Structures are given as structure tokens and as C-alpha cells.
């Protein structure tokens, strides 16, 4: 199924914000 790059970017940003909120940190996770 096709997803636009914009849609993927939004998902990644939301996941990163959620991750940072859970861990209470502002550093960038290394994937």
C-alpha cells in the first residue's frame, strides 16, 4: 500500500514526540 512521504514524516514525528514524552528526555534516539 502506498503512503506519501509527508504522511510517513508525520507518523515519525508523532512517534518521536511520544517516545521523548515517555522517557522525559530531549536527546535524539539513535535508530
What pTM, to 2 d.p., does this model score? 0.47
1-31 residue pLDDT tens? 577 889 989 999 999 888 777 766 656 555 5
Tell me what pLDDT residue 28 has. 57
User: Can you give the pLDDT at residue 18?
Assistant: 84
| C-alpha span between 17 and 28 (Å, rounded) | 10
What is the per-residue pLDDT for 21? 78
The number of helices, as runs of H, and strands, as runs of E, in the chain is 1, 0
- What pLDDT is attached to residue 31? 52
Amino acid at each position: 500500500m502506498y503512503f506519501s512521504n509527508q504522511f510517513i514524516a508525520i507518523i515519525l514525528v508523532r512517534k518521536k514526540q511520544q517516545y521523548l514524552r515517555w522517557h522525559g528526555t530531549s536527546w535524539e534516539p539513535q535508530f
